[in-house]
Amino acid sequence: MSNGGGGYDEAAFVDLCKRELELCGVGIGQTVAVLRSGDVREHYARAFVCAGRLLGATVVEMNLPPASDNSDARAILAGAAQPLSGNRLAVEALKCADVIIDLMFILYTHEVHELQEAGARILSCIEPVDALARLFPTEEMRAKVEKAAELLAGARKLQVTSKAGTDVTYQLGAYPVVMQYGYTDTPGRWDHWPSGGFLYTSGSDDGVDGTIVLDVGDIVFPLNSYVRSPVEFTIRSGRVTRVSGGLDADLVNDYMTGFEDPRAYAISHIGWGLEKRARWSSVAMLKDGIGMEARCFYGSVLWSTGPNLEVGGTNDTPCHLDMPMRGCSLFLDGAPVVVDGEVVAPE
Protein backbone atom coordinates (compact mmCIF):
# COMPACT_ATOMS: atom_id res chain seq x y z
CA MET A 1 0.00 0.00 0.00
CA SER A 2 1.53 3.32 -0.99
CA ASN A 3 0.67 6.76 0.25
CA GLY A 4 -2.17 7.87 -1.95
CA GLY A 5 -0.03 8.60 -4.99
CA GLY A 6 -0.09 6.55 -8.20
CA GLY A 7 0.13 3.11 -6.59
CA TYR A 8 -2.43 3.67 -3.88
CA ASP A 9 -4.45 0.53 -3.09
CA GLU A 10 -7.89 1.71 -1.96
CA ALA A 11 -9.22 -1.77 -1.20
CA ALA A 12 -6.29 -2.51 1.09
CA PHE A 13 -6.80 0.81 2.86
CA VAL A 14 -10.52 0.09 3.39
CA ASP A 15 -9.55 -3.26 4.89
CA LEU A 16 -7.02 -1.56 7.19
CA CYS A 17 -9.64 0.98 8.33
CA LYS A 18 -12.12 -1.85 8.91
CA ARG A 19 -9.64 -3.64 11.18
CA GLU A 20 -9.02 -0.37 13.01
CA LEU A 21 -12.74 0.25 13.51
CA GLU A 22 -13.12 -3.31 14.80
CA LEU A 23 -10.49 -2.56 17.44
CA CYS A 24 -12.57 0.54 18.29
CA GLY A 25 -15.63 -1.64 18.90
CA VAL A 26 -17.55 -0.45 15.84
CA GLY A 27 -20.32 -2.75 14.66
CA ILE A 28 -24.05 -3.04 14.16
CA GLY A 29 -25.98 -0.44 16.16
CA GLN A 30 -22.99 1.93 16.45
CA THR A 31 -22.82 5.42 14.94
CA VAL A 32 -19.64 6.73 13.37
CA ALA A 33 -18.98 10.34 12.35
CA VAL A 34 -16.09 10.90 9.95
CA LEU A 35 -14.89 14.47 10.38
CA ARG A 36 -12.79 16.26 7.80
CA SER A 37 -12.33 19.68 6.25
CA GLY A 38 -12.19 20.78 2.63
CA ASP A 39 -10.48 18.26 0.39
CA VAL A 40 -7.84 17.23 2.94
CA ARG A 41 -7.64 13.43 3.43
CA GLU A 42 -10.74 12.94 1.31
CA HIS A 43 -9.58 9.40 0.49
CA TYR A 44 -9.22 8.63 4.21
CA ALA A 45 -12.85 9.66 4.72
CA ARG A 46 -13.95 7.47 1.82
CA ALA A 47 -12.14 4.47 3.27
CA PHE A 48 -13.55 4.96 6.79
CA VAL A 49 -17.10 5.41 5.47
CA CYS A 50 -16.80 2.15 3.49
CA ALA A 51 -15.24 0.35 6.44
CA GLY A 52 -17.93 1.52 8.86
CA ARG A 53 -20.69 0.41 6.52
CA LEU A 54 -19.06 -2.99 5.99
CA LEU A 55 -19.25 -3.42 9.77
CA GLY A 56 -22.94 -2.54 9.81
CA ALA A 57 -22.56 0.82 11.57
CA THR A 58 -24.53 3.99 10.77
CA VAL A 59 -22.00 6.37 9.24
CA VAL A 60 -22.09 10.14 8.69
CA GLU A 61 -19.41 12.13 6.93
CA MET A 62 -19.03 15.74 8.08
CA ASN A 63 -17.01 18.15 5.97
CA LEU A 64 -16.36 21.52 7.61
CA PRO A 65 -15.19 24.58 5.69
CA PRO A 66 -11.47 25.18 6.25
CA ALA A 67 -10.72 27.85 8.85
CA SER A 68 -7.10 28.16 7.80
CA ASP A 69 -4.40 26.12 6.13
CA ASN A 70 -5.27 22.86 7.82
CA SER A 71 -3.50 20.91 5.12
CA ASP A 72 -0.32 21.66 7.03
CA ALA A 73 -0.03 19.65 10.24
CA ARG A 74 2.65 22.02 11.47
CA ALA A 75 0.14 24.84 11.17
CA ILE A 76 -2.30 22.81 13.26
CA LEU A 77 0.27 22.19 15.96
CA ALA A 78 1.34 25.81 15.82
CA GLY A 79 -2.22 26.69 16.73
CA ALA A 80 -3.79 27.62 13.42
CA ALA A 81 -7.52 28.19 13.79
CA GLN A 82 -9.47 24.94 13.70
CA PRO A 83 -12.57 24.45 11.53
CA LEU A 84 -14.37 22.93 14.53
CA SER A 85 -13.66 25.81 16.93
CA GLY A 86 -16.84 27.70 17.70
CA ASN A 87 -18.94 25.65 15.26
CA ARG A 88 -21.85 24.76 17.58
CA LEU A 89 -23.87 23.03 14.88
CA ALA A 90 -21.02 20.62 14.18
CA VAL A 91 -20.21 20.05 17.86
CA GLU A 92 -23.81 19.30 18.83
CA ALA A 93 -24.17 16.85 15.94
CA LEU A 94 -20.87 15.12 16.75
CA LYS A 95 -21.96 14.63 20.37
CA CYS A 96 -24.52 12.11 19.09
CA ALA A 97 -21.83 9.84 17.63
CA ASP A 98 -20.43 6.77 19.37
CA VAL A 99 -17.18 7.12 17.45
CA ILE A 100 -15.65 10.22 15.83
CA ILE A 101 -12.96 9.68 13.23
CA ASP A 102 -11.03 12.95 13.28
CA LEU A 103 -9.14 13.57 10.04
CA MET A 104 -8.29 17.20 11.01
CA PHE A 105 -6.56 16.74 14.40
CA ILE A 106 -8.87 18.44 16.88
CA LEU A 107 -6.79 17.55 19.95
CA TYR A 108 -5.80 21.14 20.67
CA THR A 109 -9.35 22.50 20.71
CA HIS A 110 -11.60 23.16 23.69
CA GLU A 111 -14.35 21.32 21.81
CA VAL A 112 -12.56 17.98 22.01
CA HIS A 113 -13.20 17.87 25.76
CA GLU A 114 -16.88 18.60 25.27
CA LEU A 115 -17.11 15.69 22.83
CA GLN A 116 -15.28 13.39 25.25
CA GLU A 117 -17.62 14.40 28.06
CA ALA A 118 -20.53 13.47 25.80
CA GLY A 119 -19.05 9.95 25.71
CA ALA A 120 -17.68 9.90 22.17
CA ARG A 121 -14.70 7.70 21.40
CA ILE A 122 -12.42 9.95 19.35
CA LEU A 123 -9.80 8.60 16.99
CA SER A 124 -7.52 11.06 15.21
CA CYS A 125 -5.96 9.86 11.98
CA ILE A 126 -3.72 12.17 9.95
CA GLU A 127 -0.49 10.23 9.37
CA PRO A 128 0.61 8.80 6.00
CA VAL A 129 -1.06 5.52 5.03
CA ASP A 130 2.20 3.58 5.11
CA ALA A 131 2.69 4.63 8.76
CA LEU A 132 -0.90 3.57 9.57
CA ALA A 133 -0.13 0.12 8.21
CA ARG A 134 3.38 -0.27 9.59
CA LEU A 135 2.44 0.83 13.12
CA PHE A 136 -0.98 -0.84 13.19
CA PRO A 137 -2.11 -1.09 16.82
CA THR A 138 -2.05 -4.30 18.83
CA GLU A 139 -3.76 -5.42 22.01
CA GLU A 140 -0.35 -6.47 23.33
CA MET A 141 0.91 -2.89 23.11
CA ARG A 142 -2.24 -1.65 24.81
CA ALA A 143 -1.48 -3.93 27.73
CA LYS A 144 2.10 -2.63 27.92
CA VAL A 145 0.94 0.99 27.85
CA GLU A 146 -1.70 0.36 30.51
CA LYS A 147 0.89 -1.30 32.75
CA ALA A 148 3.28 1.64 32.28
CA ALA A 149 0.44 4.08 32.94
CA GLU A 150 -0.20 2.41 36.30
CA LEU A 151 3.42 3.05 37.26
CA LEU A 152 3.24 6.67 36.12
CA ALA A 153 -0.10 7.36 37.79
CA GLY A 154 1.21 6.04 41.10
CA ALA A 155 4.37 8.18 41.10
CA ARG A 156 4.85 11.53 42.80
CA LYS A 157 8.22 12.49 41.32
CA LEU A 158 9.64 11.99 37.83
CA GLN A 159 13.29 12.64 37.08
CA VAL A 160 15.05 12.62 33.71
CA THR A 161 18.84 12.54 33.35
CA SER A 162 21.20 12.15 30.42
CA LYS A 163 24.88 12.03 29.60
CA ALA A 164 24.36 15.29 27.68
CA GLY A 165 23.62 17.08 30.95
CA THR A 166 19.87 16.76 31.45
CA ASP A 167 18.78 16.66 35.09
CA VAL A 168 15.19 17.74 35.60
CA THR A 169 12.50 16.87 38.11
CA TYR A 170 8.72 16.95 37.63
CA GLN A 171 6.40 16.95 40.65
CA LEU A 172 3.46 14.73 39.68
CA GLY A 173 -0.11 14.26 40.86
CA ALA A 174 -1.79 17.41 39.58
CA TYR A 175 -2.69 15.97 36.17
CA PRO A 176 -3.87 12.58 34.88
CA VAL A 177 -1.90 10.16 32.74
CA VAL A 178 -2.76 10.05 29.04
CA MET A 179 -2.20 6.79 27.18
CA GLN A 180 -1.86 6.33 23.45
CA TYR A 181 -1.94 2.90 21.87
CA GLY A 182 -3.62 3.67 18.58
CA TYR A 183 -7.30 2.80 19.05
CA THR A 184 -10.11 3.49 21.48
CA ASP A 185 -13.00 1.31 22.60
CA THR A 186 -13.61 3.27 25.82
CA PRO A 187 -16.37 5.92 25.90
CA GLY A 188 -14.97 9.44 26.20
CA ARG A 189 -11.43 8.39 25.37
CA TRP A 190 -9.24 9.99 22.67
CA ASP A 191 -6.48 8.20 20.80
CA HIS A 192 -4.42 8.63 17.68
CA TRP A 193 -3.81 6.02 15.00
CA PRO A 194 -0.92 5.30 14.82
CA SER A 195 0.60 5.90 18.23
CA GLY A 196 2.70 2.82 18.71
CA GLY A 197 2.84 2.83 22.46
CA PHE A 198 3.25 6.12 24.24
CA LEU A 199 2.15 7.73 27.51
CA TYR A 200 2.57 10.99 29.34
CA THR A 201 1.43 13.28 32.11
CA SER A 202 2.39 16.79 33.19
CA GLY A 203 4.20 18.13 36.22
CA SER A 204 2.30 20.50 38.48
CA ASP A 205 2.21 24.04 37.08
CA ASP A 206 5.11 25.35 39.21
CA GLY A 207 6.64 21.94 39.96
CA VAL A 208 9.25 21.40 37.25
CA ASP A 209 12.88 22.40 37.90
CA GLY A 210 16.29 21.67 36.46
CA THR A 211 18.05 21.54 33.13
CA ILE A 212 17.19 19.75 29.91
CA VAL A 213 19.88 19.42 27.25
CA LEU A 214 18.81 18.34 23.78
CA ASP A 215 21.72 16.30 22.43
CA VAL A 216 22.80 15.98 18.81
CA GLY A 217 20.11 13.95 17.01
CA ASP A 218 17.27 14.76 19.38
CA ILE A 219 14.17 16.08 17.63
CA VAL A 220 12.31 19.39 17.79
CA PHE A 221 8.66 19.39 16.64
CA PRO A 222 7.10 21.28 14.93
CA LEU A 223 10.40 22.41 13.42
CA ASN A 224 10.61 18.77 12.25
CA SER A 225 14.37 18.83 12.63
CA TYR A 226 17.18 16.96 14.33
CA VAL A 227 19.33 19.04 16.64
CA ARG A 228 22.88 19.43 15.28
CA SER A 229 24.34 21.10 18.34
CA PRO A 230 23.26 20.78 21.99
CA VAL A 231 20.44 23.05 23.20
CA GLU A 232 20.23 23.77 26.93
CA PHE A 233 16.92 24.70 28.55
CA THR A 234 16.99 26.17 32.05
CA ILE A 235 13.71 25.41 33.86
CA ARG A 236 12.54 27.08 37.06
CA SER A 237 9.17 26.56 38.76
CA GLY A 238 7.57 25.05 35.69
CA ARG A 239 8.84 27.58 33.16
CA VAL A 240 11.66 27.77 30.64
CA THR A 241 13.75 30.73 31.73
CA ARG A 242 16.62 30.39 29.24
CA VAL A 243 17.42 28.56 26.01
CA SER A 244 21.10 28.56 25.12
CA GLY A 245 23.44 26.94 22.60
CA GLY A 246 24.29 27.42 18.95
CA LEU A 247 22.19 27.64 15.80
CA ASP A 248 19.55 25.18 17.02
CA ALA A 249 19.02 27.19 20.21
CA ASP A 250 18.66 30.31 18.06
CA LEU A 251 16.00 28.55 15.96
CA VAL A 252 14.08 27.48 19.07
CA ASN A 253 14.34 30.96 20.59
CA ASP A 254 13.20 32.60 17.37
CA TYR A 255 10.25 30.23 17.03
CA MET A 256 9.11 30.71 20.62
CA THR A 257 9.48 34.49 20.79
CA GLY A 258 7.45 34.81 17.57
CA PHE A 259 4.27 33.97 19.48
CA GLU A 260 4.73 36.92 21.87
CA ASP A 261 3.05 34.78 24.53
CA PRO A 262 4.56 34.24 27.99
CA ARG A 263 2.48 31.03 28.32
CA ALA A 264 4.63 29.51 25.57
CA TYR A 265 7.39 29.01 28.16
CA ALA A 266 5.32 26.76 30.44
CA ILE A 267 6.46 23.14 30.73
CA SER A 268 3.85 20.77 29.31
CA HIS A 269 3.74 16.97 29.06
CA ILE A 270 6.46 14.41 29.82
CA GLY A 271 6.49 10.71 29.01
CA TRP A 272 8.19 7.88 27.15
CA GLY A 273 7.82 5.70 24.06
CA LEU A 274 7.49 1.91 23.88
CA GLU A 275 7.20 1.18 20.16
CA LYS A 276 10.00 -0.90 18.69
CA ARG A 277 8.53 -0.67 15.17
CA ALA A 278 8.77 3.15 15.17
CA ARG A 279 11.87 4.66 13.61
CA TRP A 280 13.79 7.56 15.11
CA SER A 281 14.90 8.41 11.58
CA SER A 282 11.34 8.84 10.28
CA VAL A 283 11.34 12.65 10.57
CA ALA A 284 13.86 12.76 7.75
CA MET A 285 11.19 11.27 5.44
CA LEU A 286 8.18 13.10 6.89
CA LYS A 287 5.61 13.87 4.17
CA ASP A 288 2.37 14.41 6.07
CA GLY A 289 0.98 14.30 9.59
CA ILE A 290 2.69 15.29 12.82
CA GLY A 291 5.51 12.75 12.79
CA MET A 292 3.86 10.50 15.38
CA GLU A 293 6.34 7.74 14.60
CA ALA A 294 9.25 9.77 15.99
CA ARG A 295 7.25 10.70 19.08
CA CYS A 296 6.79 7.11 20.27
CA PHE A 297 9.97 5.22 19.38
CA TYR A 298 11.17 2.70 21.92
CA GLY A 299 13.05 4.17 24.87
CA SER A 300 12.58 7.80 23.84
CA VAL A 301 11.76 10.40 26.46
CA LEU A 302 9.47 13.09 25.07
CA TRP A 303 9.03 16.41 26.86
CA SER A 304 7.16 19.46 25.73
CA THR A 305 6.47 23.13 26.28
CA GLY A 306 3.35 25.25 25.94
CA PRO A 307 -0.30 24.15 26.13
CA ASN A 308 -1.64 21.59 28.58
CA LEU A 309 -5.22 21.19 27.36
CA GLU A 310 -4.38 17.56 26.57
CA VAL A 311 -4.10 16.75 30.28
CA GLY A 312 -7.01 18.96 31.31
CA GLY A 313 -5.08 22.16 32.05
CA THR A 314 -5.98 25.71 31.05
CA ASN A 315 -2.94 26.82 29.03
CA ASP A 316 -4.09 27.06 25.41
CA THR A 317 -1.11 28.89 23.95
CA PRO A 318 -0.62 27.96 20.29
CA CYS A 319 3.15 27.62 20.81
CA HIS A 320 3.76 23.90 21.39
CA LEU A 321 7.13 22.18 21.15
CA ASP A 322 7.41 18.38 21.42
CA MET A 323 11.00 17.19 21.87
CA PRO A 324 11.75 13.44 21.79
CA MET A 325 15.20 12.61 23.19
CA ARG A 326 17.37 9.53 22.77
CA GLY A 327 19.54 7.82 25.34
CA CYS A 328 17.96 9.37 28.44
CA SER A 329 17.19 7.80 31.80
CA LEU A 330 13.82 8.30 33.47
CA PHE A 331 13.04 7.54 37.10
CA LEU A 332 9.70 7.41 38.96
CA ASP A 333 10.11 8.07 42.68
CA GLY A 334 13.75 7.09 42.22
CA ALA A 335 13.05 3.76 40.49
CA PRO A 336 14.46 3.39 36.95
CA VAL A 337 11.91 3.06 34.13
CA VAL A 338 14.18 3.95 31.19
CA VAL A 339 17.97 3.68 31.45
CA ASP A 340 20.14 5.16 28.68
CA GLY A 341 17.28 4.76 26.20
CA GLU A 342 16.37 1.18 27.22
CA VAL A 343 13.06 0.47 28.92
CA VAL A 344 13.81 -1.45 32.12
CA ALA A 345 10.47 -1.27 33.94
CA PRO A 346 8.63 -4.62 33.96
CA GLU A 347 6.02 -4.89 31.22
> Is 304 one of the binding residues for Fe ion (CB under 5 A)?
yes
Q: Report in angstroms how near the CB of residue 302 gets to Fe ion at its nearest.
A: 8
When the beta carbons of 291 and 341 are compared against Fe ion, the nearer one is 291
When the beta carbons of 32 and 135 are compared against Fe ion, the nearer one is 135
- Separation of alpha carbons 244 and 113, rounded Å: 36
Q: Report in angstroms how near the CB of residue 210 gets to Fe ion at its nearest.
A: 20
Q: Report in angstroms how near the CB of residue 41 gets to Fe ion at its nearest.
A: 21
Binding mask 104-133 for Fe ion (x = CB under 5 A): ------------------------------
> Is 195 one of the binding residues for Fe ion (CB under 5 A)?
no
Contact between residue 66 and residue 38 where contact means Cβ atoms under 8 Å apart: yes
| Closest residue by beta carbon to Fe ion | 322
Q: Report in angstroms how near the CB of residue 77 gets to Fe ion at its nearest.
A: 8
3-state SS, 105-171, equals CCCCCCHHHHHHHCCCEEEECCCCHHHHHHCCCCHHHHHHHHHHHHHHHCCCEEEEECCCCCEEEEE
Residue type at position 151: L
- Separation of alpha carbons 172 and 158, rounded Å: 7
Q: Report in angstroms how near the CB of residue 238 gets to Fe ion at its nearest.
A: 16
When the beta carbons of 218 and 322 are compared against Fe ion, the nearer one is 322
Type and span of the H or E element at 92: helix 88-94
Is the alpha carbon torsion for 122, 138, 321, 66 positive or negative?
Answer: negative
When the beta carbons of 100 and 270 are compared against Fe ion, the nearer one is 270
The DSSP 8-state label assigned to residue 33 in this structure reads E
When the beta carbons of 19 and 189 are compared against Fe ion, the nearer one is 189
Interface positions, 263-302, toward Fe ion (CB under 5 A): none
- Separation of alpha carbons 190 and 115, rounded Å: 10
- Separation of alpha carbons 223 and 305, rounded Å: 13
When the beta carbons of 121 and 192 are compared against Fe ion, the nearer one is 192
Inter-CA distances, 2 with 16, 196, 258, Å: 13, 20, 37
CB under 5 A: which stretch of 17-25, 59-67, 141-149, 304-312 binds Fe ion? 304-312
3-state SS, 200-253, equals EEECCCCCEEEEEEECCCCEEECCCEECCCCEEEEEECCEEEEEEECHHHHHHH
CB under 5 A: which stretch of 137-145, 152-160, 164-172, 303-311 binds Fe ion? 303-311
Contact between residue 101 and residue 48 where contact means Cβ atoms under 8 Å apart: yes
Count of residues that bind Fe ion according to CB under 5 A: 2
Q: Report in angstroms how near the CB of residue 261 gets to Fe ion at its nearest.
A: 16
Interface positions, 307-336, toward Fe ion (CB under 5 A): 322
When the beta carbons of 30 and 282 are compared against Fe ion, the nearer one is 282
Q: Report in angstroms how near the CB of residue 104 gets to Fe ion at its nearest.
A: 17
Q: Report in angstroms how near the CB of residue 109 gets to Fe ion at its nearest.
A: 14
When the beta carbons of 99 and 106 are compared against Fe ion, the nearer one is 106
- Separation of alpha carbons 162 and 215, rounded Å: 9
- Separation of alpha carbons 100 and 117, rounded Å: 13
When the beta carbons of 102 and 322 are compared against Fe ion, the nearer one is 322
Q: Report in angstroms how near the CB of residue 320 gets to Fe ion at its nearest.
A: 6
Beta strand 198-202 with 157-161: parallel, antiparallel or unpaired?
unpaired
Binding region for Fe ion (CB under 5 A): 304, 322
